[in-house]
Chain A
Amino acid sequence: MTYLFTGLFTLLIGYFIYFNGFLSSEVVNNPYNSRQDTFADRIIRGEIRSSDGEVLAETKTAEDGTEIRNYPYGNVFAHGVGYSTRGRTGIESLANFYLLTSNASFGEQITKEIREEKNIGDNVITTLNARLQQTAYEALGSRRGAVVVLEVETGRILAMVSKPDFDPNRINEDWDALNDEENSEKALYNRAFQGLYPPGSTFKMVTLLDYMRENPDYVNFHFQCGGQLTEGNYTISCYGKKVHGEENLQKAFAKSCNTAFSSIGLSLDEDTLKENCESLLFNRDLPLDLPYSKSSFSLKSGSTPAERMMTAIGQGETLVSPVHMAMLTSSIANDGIFMKPYVLERVESYTGDTVKVFHPAVSGRLMTLEEAGILEEYMKAVVTEGTGSRLADLGFPVAGKTGTAEYSSDKNKSHGWFTGYSVTGESDIAVTVIVEEAGSGSEYAVPIARAVFQTWGTLNEH
């Protein structure tokens, strides 16, 4: 009896210690914890820095004691770093607790307490690389869209750009305009994480994977492309009315042949396709710390041939976020293993002592090693002989897939996609680009990816 209760209480105290020691820092850091606000009365908010040492956010105290949060890069990191004066978003929200906790020396803290001065909060070093971010930001230019760059092996988020953007330094002045219902820009919206787009031909990676799983003899696939395919009263044509002729599976993929893939779509089992999509995290929660939108896949058994054909080439009802696309791509690059993307690298006291280090974490396996290998081979072919040929002369091999997603009945309006990765074996990166209302992916998205790969190449030379 006494033992029973002693056991219960021991467990209780044990759990309490475990909570305070291990779980609490994450709990406390929850943006809903309004207790964090009271910290600001005693602590000067720390800096947010890029992995290459650039200051992305800092607090400057004027002589009269008023504090101003300054973002030296202005619009470039707007969505990633976020803001902290009108509510909190981005890293400002994610790392709020760390920024408002001081790990300065005990003596210094006590001295400042006595003098009734504020202590200096810890600095947060992110995984974002200022050079890559700047490159992606400039390459996207005045277009709407998003770029996500992940480090394949670790899941570190190296860059995330979303446009239209805003200047976090002017968030208070611009607040009303940014939130104006009639403003179609929705600049506060982080398209890289929260934007949902039809995947277009990038979805052929998924269709291909499902086809291989359903047909072990996929190597024997061959198809005669006549430029269009009609089933019932629905016709799908290849992009630019091209006729690809005799094709095997790899060529159909590299040339992004709509006709071949919609015929594959007709042969697939809808339930298996849905299952495979869900195993690739469509309709699922993603392990992300920043707000994101769930990708959706809704094809089910009993759908019309037209729906099946469209779904197979990434039109249909399917929607995907750029960050999800980047995660899929980097899993292919990482032998099928899917790393949890993260943006906080470490926390340091303002004097540079390490407080906390964040480590890469495996989130699971999306496909087998063999499947990843075959996809890589096919995606390399996209660059060497297909729609991604603008990436062929970078000096290192790249694998990828382009996409052109029609989003309205006007066939001339489309979003351009590219998603791919470097294949050098050393700190490779996955790059996903979406350019809204532009045109084909190979024409508009690939050059942006190219600029990012180039910058990465020069960074790696040193």
Chain B
Amino acid sequence: MTNLIIELSKFAFIILIAIYTLLSFSVLKKKNQGEIRYGWKMQNLLLFFIHLLAYVVMYLQKEEIKLLIFYLFQLFLLQAVLVMTQVVYPKVNRLLLNNMCFFLAIGFIMLTRLSFDRAVRQFQIAAAALVLAMFIPFLIRRCTFLEKLTWLYGMAGLLLLTAVVVFGKSSYGAKLSLKIGSLALQPSEFVKVSFVFFAAARLAKSTAFRDVVLTTLTAAAHVAVLVLSKDLGGALLFFVTYLIMLYVASKKPLYFIGGLGAGCVAAYTGYQLFSHVRVRVMAWSDPFRFIDKEGYQITQSLFAIGTGSWFGMGLYQGTPNKIPVVEEDFIFSAIAEEFGGIFAICLILICVSSFMMFVNIAMQIKNDFYKYTALGLGTIYGFQVFLTIGGAVKFIPSTGITLPLVSSGGSSMVVTIAMFAIVQGMYLLKEDEDLRIEKERKQNAKARTGKARRSRKTKAEERS
């Protein structure tokens, strides 16, 4: 009987996520407020079913009561976030809110399946981060001085990154984390935000040639320090993000092309200089030849995805733990193995819809600083998704980057939640602005009709 439930649940998961994905795109096209509200509610319901079903399937196989207790905690957290955010910020962007909760839930499910302890830790960090993130939109509205702190962001970021190079502890060939007491922090995650703030503030201030050079040099210094700590995925991420921000701010294609050219040269030099870059590229180009060593991780990932095929093996039916670092860099492969390829594609599409929403919001904001910040954070998010999934399916060489909100990793979790909250804050600012403009227009219109009426009156009086 359990077998049958597992079999059927696979198809249920696929149907549920497919409808969710469809709604992520279709609701945005709807005009009717009632329909839109219904669409978002529907998404929450689908999320609720997927989450519930996953824990039922896991409980049936493990029969551990702690799974159910953990489920209830998660249910409470997700519901609280959905409800509280809407109460505090009625105009919140629902797509981003829903998707954030969706990724969190998928992450909790997959991590529970991979390693219960990690999942609990992930849950605790997420809960704390979500509580703090509730204040972010409020702070953004209040702190109008944010765009004036240009060099502060730049210096703080560089300092943090340098600290990692000097004091950092290395893992998998890259120096990533900094130990403070019992906490292992990954400063490069936090620097993502300060970096975007720096670039946005500087570019909003001026895109004159001299300023652009200064800004670019500082950005390049970030990238260089990341390269020194051998975090090449991070370096690539920062590089691309800056390039896109620069292009959007300056509107000069020449900068973009020049930047790309410089990037190619840098990539080639990096390839020649660092053996672990060559190893990754080698493992990517022909993993089966180096299946015992360099290609082990990527071939295990491909085995997982291939064995899962379209419909997946079902929860606990695969062996995703065979992939080294599956909880972080290769969680996508674990999802593809047990939930199947169709589910995985839907997950990519939901990431895409979140990314497009980030960009959409950025394009509507009038204030340059906020605009570039939203754009930069969106690019970080989108490109990070691309790098990690592309690496897992061997579309590009693996870069050792996490899938935002889904992968295990405290720093990444905190920062991504903060990123979502910051963009929410900017979205709310824009809504405020729209509201103010709307009001002004109404007042102007009223004033105009009042004036007209008055002038008509006077004319009539004159005539009489």
Which residues of A are at the interface with B, using a C-beta cutoff of 8 A? 1-2, 5-6, 8-9, 11-13, 15-17, 19-20, 23-25, 27-28, 30, 32-36, 38, 110, 113-114, 116
Contacts and interface: CB of A to CB of B under 8 A. Distances in A.
A282 to B, nearest CB: 20
Interface string B283-321: 000001001000000010011111101100000011100
A255 B69 CA distance: 86
Nearest to B6: A113
Nearest to B319: A35
A449 to B, nearest CB: 36
Nearest to A36: B307
Given A1-B244, A1-B248, A24-B305, A13 B4 contact: no
Given A114-B1, A116-B3, A17 B345 contact: yes
Contact-residue size bin, chain B (C-beta under 8 Å from the other chain)? 35 or more
A110 B345 CA distance: 26
7 contacts: A1-B359, A8-B386, A13-B349, A19-B302, A25-B306, A38-B317, A38-B318
A12 B386 contact: yes
Given A15-B395, A110-B4, A20 B307 contact: no
A9 B305 contact: no
B394 to A, nearest CB: 8
Contacts of A11: 395
A247 B256 CA distance: 74
Nearest to A2: B359
A2 B361 CA distance: 12
A20 B311 CA distance: 11
B299 A30 contact: yes
A114 B4 contact: yes
Given A12-B389, A34-B319, A114 B3 contact: yes
A30 B303 contact: yes
Given A9-B348, A35-B322, 20 more contacts: A1-B247, A1-B359, A5-B352, A5-B355, A6-B356, A9-B352, A12-B348, A15-B393, A15-B395, A16-B348, A16-B389, A16-B393, A19-B393, A24-B309, A27-B303, A27-B306, A28-B306, A35-B303, A35-B307, A113-B3
Nearest to A19: B393
B352 A19 contact: no
Contacts of A33: 303, 306-307
Contact of B306 (A6, A19, A38): A19
A16 B341 contact: yes
B7 interface: yes
B299 to A, nearest CB: 7
A2 B378 CA distance: 11
A114 B1 CA distance: 6
Contact of A16 (B244, B345, B383): B345
B458 to A, nearest CB: 54
A59 B227 CA distance: 56
Interface string B307-343: 1011000000111001000000000000000000100
Given A35-B318, A35-B319, A20 B303 contact: no
A33 B307 CA distance: 9
Interface in B379-416: 382-383, 386, 389-390, 393-395
B348 A13 contact: yes
B349 to A, nearest CB: 8
A37 B315 CA distance: 17
B164 interface: no
Given A35-B318, A113-B3, A12 B390 contact: yes
A393 B7 CA distance: 63
B344 interface: yes
Contacts of A110: 4, 7
Contacts of B383: 5
B7 A20 contact: no
Nearest to B394: A19
Contacts of B248: 1
A33 B1 CA distance: 29
